[in-house]
Amino acid sequence: MQSLFNCVVYQHDPILLVWAVLSLVIGSVVTMRLFTRAQDTNKQIQTLWLILAGMIGGGTIWSTHFVSMLAYKSDIILGYELTLTVSSLIIVICTTMLGFAIAIRKANTLRIVTGGAILGVGISLMHYTGMAAMKIQGGMQWDVASVIVSFVLGTVTGGLSVSITARRLTKYFSALGAALFVAAVALMHFTGMNGLTLVPAQLDAEAVKLISNATLGAGIVVLMGCLYLTTFITSLIDMKNADETSAHYKYLALHDQLTGIPNRYGCEKHLKDLISAPLQDGTGIAVVGIDLDRFKRINDVYGHFAGDHLLKTISFHISNILGEGELIGRFGGDEFLALKTGIRGKDDANEFAERILTAIRQPVLWNDADISTRASIGYSLFPWDSLDPIKLMENADLAMYHAKSNGKDSVVGYGIAMNRANKERTTLGMLLASAIENNELSVHYQLQNDAQTRKITGVEALARWHSSAKGHVAPDVFIPIAEETGFINELGAWVLREACSQAAQWTVPVKVAVNVSAKQLADPGFPDQVKQVLEDTGLAPSRLELEVTETGIISVASLALNVIRKLKELGVQIAMDDYGTGYSTLATLHNFPFDKIKIDREFIKDIDTNAHSSAILKSTMILGNSLKIPVLAEGVETEEHLNVLNKEGCQLVQGFLFGKPMANAVLVDLLAAQIEAGLWEEQIPRKDNKNMAIRLVS
């Protein structure tokens, strides 16, 4: 140990020794950082980082050795042989690269230890190759023990350096790994040099061109300068790429990929930033929720590419009308959120929302087809409606829902009463889920009549709900709730079974029509369910008519046709309900095997005064007669309605003119009375009308 101390302190120039130590420390830190960087990158870039780490690490070891040799005090050193000097550099760079490449896997301990050991062996090989390159006026004698110890120290310490860095055993792994790298090089060099004895002698040296100390020093400076410059430039490029990548990922995180406008997270962040920033006195922020009308139908009819085109075009149209302090973002699907700062009340918010609605209404073409749409818009105001950004968006969503419920294509501002309505809706949804179990549901029947004879031809089954907690709940309230909550399937199945069970008890073979939801049509098992109900209740399939809406069919078109065909195979009748309100009526009639067309009540309510309604009726009758499909008109409430329908040749009618929906017991009494009046003689042999009536009631 004393001899090693003397070697370091007394046999080396202190200035050059400090240079060697600084070069070693800096190079070790840079090398281990590069190795760590290589571990954290993918395979394509990892090789480049390993090469750079090997070059810096090998160059550091090589330069430290030769700077230390320049610091070694001896008058008999003549210089350094070029080939061996260069070879020592190549050896240490290659072994350093190889060691790092083997140790790159964090989870493989054996490979890490092996890679570290190769690095340590490379340090020793470089040292003794470099020593062989040194030419002196005399000879060199080596202490074998010192040489062996230097090999062991270099190998073990180098292995520890790589192992700690690769496995990241502590949070200071990088600094500890660099320190051990310094120790590996220093211990190996000075231990080896401690075992060296230079023996002066007068020798006839051959005329070999040697590298002088000055040239070697300059070469070391140039080499390490180039390596460090390369590392610096590479790191700058890497940091620049990292910044650009980070900015790109941040952009992707905050923006919608389809439209390029802010996404949900981007909108929320922007709103929070606006709220946290100071506002002018008396001003606030409008939070506007936007939901496109009929978007799903456009997707189903024209395809998702058309839907994407519509979303991008609408985003473009809205973006073009935005001014300072205004933003539009896509929340997801067909929902958007708009923000506007500097508003002073509802008038400013209404103006902003109406501008957006006008932009949405602009024509949008897809393959020469007009796929333009409308929107339901609701807004809330900061700070008047809430100070919380999430609550503001919820309030805007509530207002948007009210706009959609009130006929769509409109703007509605948030009001405190909407919260109560929403809570009431939630409560009804929970109560509805247990309505069947609590026996709160019933089926009423609306008559369908022959337009000329007024004879009953069938009935439509309608669900009614009398809640023990809320009393009578209108169908136009609980049916949408059932659809939203997913209860519609269970409700539809219950109505189907109840109607078929009651209809099977009627002596008069009146048809019963049951509405089918889009979700039921999308269920491949629905025909089997209908078949089971018919078998269980004993109702003849020809007496069951299932009513489907065009909107419901189109929303599940890929499944609906197959389901309807299976229902037809059972002998069940299929009616198109709400005719004229769908999106592509002729195509639907062409593709689906309907047994009846029901004209929506909207076209009947003013048929005696509205020329457009009359024209729609005439065209429907022509279409029905051409396809040999009977037409039924809904919403017949006056004699004037009936007269117009008779004039146009409409065969079947349904509406309050013939009575409001009635309970099963009332319908049974009505049928019994008609039997007594002889209206059903063709269907029922006349024996004992009194007994017949009793049989119907029972």
- pLDDT above 90 coverage of the chain, percent: 34
- Inform me whether the pLDDT recorded for 441 exceeds 90: yes
Highest mean pLDDT among 168-172, 532-536, 609-613, 615-619: 532-536
Is the entire prediction scored with pTM above 0.75? no
- Say which residue, 605 or 503, is predicted with more confidence: 503
CA distance readout (Å), 374 to 132, 314, 362, 585, 619:
87, 10, 9, 20, 27
The pLDDT value given to residue 587:
61
- Inform me whether the pLDDT recorded for 520 exceeds 70: yes
The pLDDT value given to residue 132:
86
The pLDDT value given to residue 418:
76
**Concatenated DSSP letters for 100-115?**
HHHTT-TT-HHHHHHH
- Inform me whether the pLDDT recorded for 210 exceeds 80: no
Least confident range of 282-286, 363-367, 590-594: 590-594
* Cis status, amide bond into 593, omega within 30 of 0: no
- Say which residue, 372 or 405, is predicted with more confidence: 372
pLDDT in tens, 641-693: 999 999 989 999 999 999 999 999 999 999 888 888 777 766 665 444 443 33
**Concatenated DSSP letters for 144-208?**
HHHHHHHHHHHHHHHHHHHHHHHHT-STTHHHHHHHHHHHHHHHHHHHHHHTEEEEE--------
- Say which residue, 630 or 278, is predicted with more confidence: 630
- Inform me whether the pLDDT recorded for 189 exceeds 50: yes
| 19 pLDDT tier (thresholds 50, 70, 90) | confident
Q: For the residues 431-454, what does the mean pLDDT come to?
A: 92
The pLDDT value given to residue 245:
64
Count the Cβ atoms, other than its own, within 10 Å of residue 482.
24
The pLDDT value given to residue 207:
44
- Say which residue, 297 or 502, is predicted with more confidence: 502
- Say which residue, 57 or 696, is predicted with more confidence: 57
Hey, what are 641's tokens?
């309605």
- Inform me whether the pLDDT recorded for 2 exceeds 50: no
Least confident range of 204-213, 240-249, 285-294: 204-213
Using a 10 angstrom Cβ sphere, with 0-12 exposed, 13-18 middle and 19 or more buried, the burial of residue 382 is buried
Cα separation, 359 vs 317, whole angstroms: 6
* Cβ-contact 358, 313 below 8 angstroms: no
- How distant is the alpha carbon of residue 490 from its chain centre? 30
- Helix, coil or strand: residue 63: helix
Q: For the residues 542-569, what does the mean pLDDT come to?
A: 83
| 303 pLDDT tier (thresholds 50, 70, 90) | confident
Q: For the residues 560-578, what does the mean pLDDT come to?
A: 90
* Cβ-contact 105, 237 below 8 angstroms: no
| 557 pLDDT tier (thresholds 50, 70, 90) | low
Q: For the residues 511-531, what does the mean pLDDT come to?
A: 92
pLDDT in tens, 78-90: 778 888 988 999 9
pLDDT in tens, 479-497: 888 888 888 999 999 999 9
Cα separation, 499 vs 628, whole angstroms: 28
- Inform me whether the pLDDT recorded for 584 exceeds 50: no
The pLDDT value given to residue 393:
93
Mean pLDDT of the chain: 84
Domains, the chain, ordered by start: 2-218 (no CATH), 264-415 (3.30.70.270), 426-594+661-697 (3.20.20.450)
Cα separation, 627 vs 632, whole angstroms: 14
Q: For the residues 37-41, what does the mean pLDDT come to?
A: 83
The pLDDT value given to residue 491:
94
What is the Cβ-side half-sphere exposure of residue 175, based on CA atoms within 13 angstroms? 3
Count the Cβ atoms, other than its own, within 10 Å of residue 660.
10
- pLDDT above 70 coverage of the chain, percent: 89
Indicate the length of the chain as a whole number: 698
| 223 pLDDT tier (thresholds 50, 70, 90) | confident
pLDDT in tens, 226-252: 777 777 777 776 777 666 666 777 777
